Amino acid sequence: MENSQKPFPHYDSAHFRARLTIIFLALNVLLDLIALGSGFMEIGLLSSVQEGRTITDAEAEANDIRQAIIGALQLLTLVFTVIFFLMWIHRAHRNLPALGARDLKFTPGWAAGWFFVPFMNLFRPVQVVTEIWKASSPETNTLDGTAWKSAPASPLVRLWWAAWIIAGVVGQVAARLSLRAETLETILVSSWAILVSDAIDMVAAVLAILVVSNIDKMQEAKTAQIATFTSPPS
């Protein structure tokens, strides 16, 4: 097969895809921060109504429009973030044989594909990213194709995935509460739930930036390391 024929197959840097992914993750963080501020404003407005203050239609409409615009921007940014993240995942995993890794559990296609398989997408993606992390490390013996298997797993990857799962669960709860909210009290509860969801989502995005950035640096460092002992002597 290709891996046995070429000790170090061609390496296509994933650096550009990593940069795009990080930029859009950073946009997610920024929008989450804006959403948190907007969420506190909404909670303040609702709390004042609960305390007996009468708000104008203009105030209520301004709040609804602001929240809707922020939510739409968050959704749009998330779509592009997912696209670039999966493009990066595919390229980063495809580079592993070029970094000397053998006997990989996943393929580049499934490295991205597992994110879409129900139930399996709860644990397969973190295994994929762990495989990429371990096989990308410059500290593993590049000449030993299976040395990466004994490399330690990154706590950062696990923290990112835990935050992502929790953010997803809380987001679903917040969405359901929002759809069912009819009274002032239930609207207030759903507003708090959305605020908590935005906060956890922001943490997950920051952790994702660290994961992508670290793997990108490791792959670039390891390919430079390989170049030093595969280059012909001068």
What pLDDT is recorded for position 5? 36
What pLDDT is recorded for position 215? 97
Tell me: pLDDT of 4 over 50.
no
Tell me: pLDDT of 156 over 60.
yes
Tell me: pLDDT of 145 over 90.
no
What pLDDT is recorded for position 6? 44
Q: What percent of the chain has pLDDT over 70?
A: 94
Burial per residue of 96-121, b for 16 or more beta-carbon CB atoms within 10 angstroms, e otherwise: bbbbbbbebebebeebbbbbeeeeee
Q: What are 161-193's pLDDT values in tens digits?
A: 999 999 999 999 998 998 888 888 999 999 999
Residues 6+ apart with CB under 8 A from 133: 153, 154, 157, 211, 214, 215, 218
What pLDDT is recorded for position 122? 95
Average pLDDT for 141-169: 92
What pLDDT is recorded for position 119? 95
Average pLDDT for 78-103: 96
Q: What is the mean pLDDT of the chain?
A: 91
pLDDT band at 9 (very low <50, low <70, confident <90, very high): confident
- Lowest-confidence range among 78-87, 140-149, 176-185, 223-232? 223-232
Token readout for 118 is 């129900």
Distance CA 154, CA 134 (A): 8
**DSSP H helical segments within the chain, as ranges?**
2-5, 15-50, 57-94, 108-113, 124-136, 155-180, 184-230
Tell me: pLDDT of 140 over 90.
no
What pTM did the predictor assign?
Answer: 0.90
Average pLDDT for 97-103: 92
Q: What are 22-76's pLDDT values in tens digits?
A: 999 999 999 999 999 999 999 999 999 988 888 898 999 999 999 999 999 999 9
What pLDDT is recorded for position 228? 77
When comparing pLDDT for 231 and 52, which is higher?
52
